Chains A and B, each alone.
Chain A
Amino acid sequence: MKKSVILGMATVAGLAAGAAAAGTVDDIKARGKLNCGVTTGLVGFAAPDANGEWKGFDVSLCRAVAAAVLGDASAVEFVPTTGKTRFTALASGEIDMLARNTTWTFSRDVDLKFEFTGVNYYDGQGFMVPKALGVTSAKELDGATVCIQTGTTTELNLADFFRSNNISYEPVPIETNAEAQQQYLAGACDVYTTDASGLAATRATFEDPSAHVLLPEIISKEPLGPLVRHGDHEWGDVVRWTLNALVSAEELGVTSANIDEMSAGTDNPEVNRLLGTEGTLGEMLGLDANWAANAIKAGGNYGEIFATNIGEETPIGLARGLNAQWTDGGLLYSPPFR
């Protein structure tokens, strides 16, 4: 009996949602909240703390977008998604954007009809082995038992790598990082493979991190980035340029510490355009003039977000590497704000 009530209410809600399906930005503004898809828990990238507050690198991006659109970094509803449910949740409109370290691939972009709005972390699949094994290259892993996390591109890369090098292996598919870690530590697999960032993060929490090494081979390109549905280009632009704003802010030296000062106006026209004191960039996006300033205030610029969540100061201790600014030899290269 109650089911029909719920169904009825749901249908009413659905009708209401159908009527208001004008554009994602308008929807979010009407709702007052951004629905952001994250992982169900990945060290450093997204996990709830003891108060149920979500923290992490991907989470910060959601908060920045919420701040840009709504002016409030806490107006985010985090929707935990699994490898299976993430695309359905996005396609069905349950979430507005997905920030769940998702690799940008051709088929996801074209066949599954999503729009990747940039890359917030350049990753690659690596291998971790116990030092005692004495392995120095992934090519020496003939016959090894390899732990992999399922539901990602990882297993495909692995199959391709071993096949193309004509060496055999024994895959052990595992659902979560925590279980993979347990198997690896107990010696149930010789090698653990996943994104290099995940490996480093996992190794950092071991009792004795120095007893494990990451092999030099990176067998895949894993550009991880936020994505939205095909079709709503205005919303795609908002997410894309929020990410770019964070990257540009670092390049231009805008930090959460000096942003108030800089918002008053500086000598650098690009900073002024970014922070909305000059030009009408915000208006073009359909947002407030200080949208980018809000986004940067939410958790700092890209460098600050990196440093607080996964940087070398944190237990995870990732180096910037590929994720440094292009001026520092990395791949971060934001198009200009003009």
Chain B
Amino acid sequence: MSDVSFVRTEMLPEQAPPASEVGALGWIKHNLFSSWLNSILTIISLYAVYYVLSGILPWTFQSVWNADSLNQCREIMLENWGSTHGHACWAVINDRWLQLLFGFYPSHLYWRPILALILLLVALAPVLYSDRVPTKMLIFSAIYPFLMVWLMWGGTIWGPISAALGFVVGWGVYTIVSKQLSGLFGIILGVLASVIWWLFISSYFTSAMASIIPIGMEAVESRQFGGFMLAVLLGVVAIGVSLPIGIVLALGRQSDLLIVKYLCVGFIEFIRGVPLITLLFVASLLLNLFLPPGTNFDIILRVMIMMTLFSAAYMAEVIRGGLAALPRGQYEGADSLGLNYWQAQRLIIMPQALKISIPGIVSTFIGIFKDTTLVSIIGLFDVIGLASAIRADTAWNGIYWELFAFIAALFFVVCFSMSRYSMYLERKLQTGHR
């Protein structure tokens, strides 16, 4: 036997890949300079990044944080760097950041909006983390809108309670009547009962109860709302209130009833066809004209109404998308179980359709939230409105970039995290559904 072997019996030892293919170098080669076009793009991009950063970074960090006025800022800049250009004067933010966040909300009551925001997250938990939070938490979600109104506006607790009682009354009438007569009759009478309660009884109820058991907090007028808080409030109210309206509109748009359908389509297309700013003009200039003579209520409430109508139209489209995405079999299954229209909607269709629509609702919210900045054009003191007001103060007249950079950063942080969350939700829902 010869032990001459032409076949290698043992493997070659593993060699390290060429230095140009691994590690930082390899990564750079593959991701930045894989072709001449890519190399050019990389170099251009590097230059662009350098150009932008070289302008922004020194401005941001070689800055003045403590000063009472722009002139003082300029003096400090001259002293430190010998020039007033290329340096930020963050002192204005330092001086006014609470105002930019809360507007004219009384400073000793700041805990109320903060608590309302925290409770909002709690109230949303059963919706957003349905797998981890007990369903009973939904009761809190139902109470939350009234709680929020009380926390934000203060005053007697009986106001929100009486508003909530309106729903209870309506529901009571509905259940009684629908057992005796028909469901449709029940709905009509229930709504009527609620409206009567709110219009005629609730104010007497509120004042009577307030004099018997006076529970209340310091009232805050909505005129004092402002700053970033106003944006959040307008966004939350508009989305929260528009959700039920949007559902009704979406159902109406899909219904077989021609007149109802065309009314809904007309409303949705009208609202979607005009810019928000014109609706805000309506809120600030015309809404009082449309209501009975002598009616006069707060501009913030009027803006809330118009923002709600605005978001309702978009919400209706989002929910319509959710309805359309449901397989036909779900509708047929509901029919075959003998459920009537409302039962089918309540038990089968809506829970699924709404779940699919959540990402769309979140992005509608982001859109509405960004659009709240438009209220500055009609003279409300949201962040941008406040920025103008601050610049009308003799101390800060002439300041510009710092305020807008701060505002942009605020919006970016909030909207970015929400959009990331919505993307996460989308992925989660996808796996849960298919």
- Physical contact A–B (CB less than 8 Å): yes
Residues of A within 8 A of B (CB): 1-15, 17-18, 21, 39-44, 46-52, 77, 79-82, 84-85, 88, 92-94, 176-178, 181-182, 185, 201-202, 204-207, 314-316
CA distance A46 to B381 in the complex (A): 14
Check A49/B292 contact, CB under 8 A, given A5-B166, A10-B301, A205-B398: no
Check A41/B95 contact, CB under 8 A, given A2-B237, A5-B163, A8-B195: no
Check A205/B394 contact, CB under 8 A, given A5-B166, A52-B99, A85-B284: yes
Check A81/B198 contact, CB under 8 A, given A14-B296, A40-B389, A181-B398: no
B388 touches A11 (CB 8 A): no
Central interface residue in A8, A15, A93, by most chain B CB within 10 Å: A8
Instruction: Produce 1/0 per residue, B178-206, CB < 8 A to A.
Output: 00000000000000001100110011000
Central interface residue in B296, B380, B397, by most chain A CB within 10 Å: B397
Cross-interface CB contact of A88 among B145, B285, B400, cutoff 8 Å: B285
Q: Which residue of A lies closest to B240 (CB)?
A: A2
Check A2/B145 contact, CB under 8 A, given A40-B379, A181-B397: yes
A43 touches B296 (CB 8 A): no
Cross-interface CB contact of A12 among B195, B203, B380, cutoff 8 Å: B203
Central interface residue in B107, B203, B289, B392, by most chain A CB within 10 Å: B392
B296 touches A94 (CB 8 A): yes
B378 touches A84 (CB 8 A): yes
Cross-interface CB contact of B288 among A4, A92, A207, cutoff 8 Å: A92
**Nearest 8 interchain pairs by C-beta:** A41-B392, A14-B295, A18-B294, A8-B198, A52-B104, A41-B389, A178-B391, A205-B397
Cross-interface CB contact of A9 among B74, B159, B291, B299, cutoff 8 Å: B159
Interchain nearest-CB distance for B366 vs A (Å): 21
Instruction: Produce 1/0 per residue, B44-70, CB < 8 A to A.
Output: 000000000000000000000000001
Q: Which residues of B contact A92 (CB under 8 A)?
A: 288-289, 296
Interchain nearest-CB distance for A185 vs B (Å): 8
A85 touches B378 (CB 8 A): yes
A205 touches B70 (CB 8 A): yes
CA distance A94 to B281 in the complex (A): 15
A-B contact list, 22 entries, CB within 8 Å: A2-B240, A5-B163, A9-B159, A9-B202, A9-B203, A11-B292, A14-B295, A14-B297, A18-B294, A40-B381, A41-B390, A48-B104, A52-B103, A79-B299, A81-B379, A84-B285, A176-B391, A177-B392, A178-B392, A202-B397, A204-B394, A207-B74
Q: Which residue of A lies closest to B196 (CB)?
A: A8
CA distance A82 to B237 in the complex (A): 25
Interchain nearest-CB distance for A262 vs B (Å): 32
State which residues 220-268 of B face A: CB under 8 Å. 221, 223-224, 237, 240-241, 244-245
Check A1/B167 contact, CB under 8 A, given A18-B294, A47-B393, A77-B221: yes
Q: Which residues of A contact B245 (CB under 8 A)?
A: 3
Q: Which residue of B lies closest to A3 (CB)?
A: B241
Cross-interface CB contact of A50 among B95, B237, B288, cutoff 8 Å: B95
Check A43/B392 contact, CB under 8 A, given A14-B292, A14-B294, A81-B379: yes
Query: Interface range on chain B: under 10, 10 to 19, 20 to 34, or 35 or more?
Result: 35 or more
Q: Which residues of A contact B285 (CB under 8 A)?
A: 84-85, 88
A17 touches B295 (CB 8 A): yes
Q: Which residue of A lies closest to B286 (CB)?
A: A88
Q: Which residue of B lies closest to A20 (CB)?
A: B294
Residues of B within 8 A of A (CB): 70-71, 74, 84, 95-96, 99, 103-104, 107, 145, 149, 159, 163, 166-167, 194-195, 198-199, 202-203, 221, 223-224, 237, 240-241, 244-245, 281, 284-285, 288-289, 291-297, 299, 301, 304-305, 308, 377-381, 385, 388-394, 397-398, 400
Q: Which residues of A contact B195 (CB under 8 A)?
A: 4, 8
B223 touches A4 (CB 8 A): no
CA distance A3 to B240 in the complex (A): 10
Interchain nearest-CB distance for B237 vs A (Å): 7
B393 touches A10 (CB 8 A): no
Central interface residue in A6, A44, A77, by most chain B CB within 10 Å: A6
CA distance A117 to B288 in the complex (A): 25
CA distance A79 to B14 in the complex (A): 79
Check A42/B284 contact, CB under 8 A, given A17-B295, A178-B397: no
Cross-interface CB contact of B304 among A6, A13, A81, cutoff 8 Å: A6
- Besides the known contacts A7-B305, A47-B392, A178-B392, 15 further A-B residue pairs in the complex with CB atoms under 8 A apart: A2-B145, A6-B304, A8-B166, A10-B297, A11-B295, A17-B295, A18-B293, A48-B389, A80-B380, A80-B389, A84-B281, A85-B379, A88-B285, A88-B288, A207-B84
Q: Which residue of A lies closest to B226 (CB)?
A: A52
Q: Which residues of A contact B241 (CB under 8 A)?
A: 1-3
Q: Which residue of B lies closest to A86 (CB)?
A: B379
Q: Which residues of A contact B391 (CB under 8 A)?
A: 41, 176, 178
Q: Which residues of B contact A84 (CB under 8 A)?
A: 281, 284-285, 378-379
CA distance A314 to B291 in the complex (A): 46
Central interface residue in A2, A17, A81, A182, by most chain B CB within 10 Å: A2
CA distance A176 to B284 in the complex (A): 19
Interchain nearest-CB distance for A45 vs B (Å): 9
Interchain nearest-CB distance for B31 vs A (Å): 41
Q: Which residues of B contact A77 (CB under 8 A)?
A: 221, 223
Q: Which residues of B contact A46 (CB under 8 A)?
A: 392
B244 touches A1 (CB 8 A): yes
B394 touches A316 (CB 8 A): yes
A12 touches B202 (CB 8 A): yes
Check A49/B378 contact, CB under 8 A, given A8-B195, A14-B295, A21-B294: no
Q: Which residues of A contact B203 (CB under 8 A)?
A: 9, 12
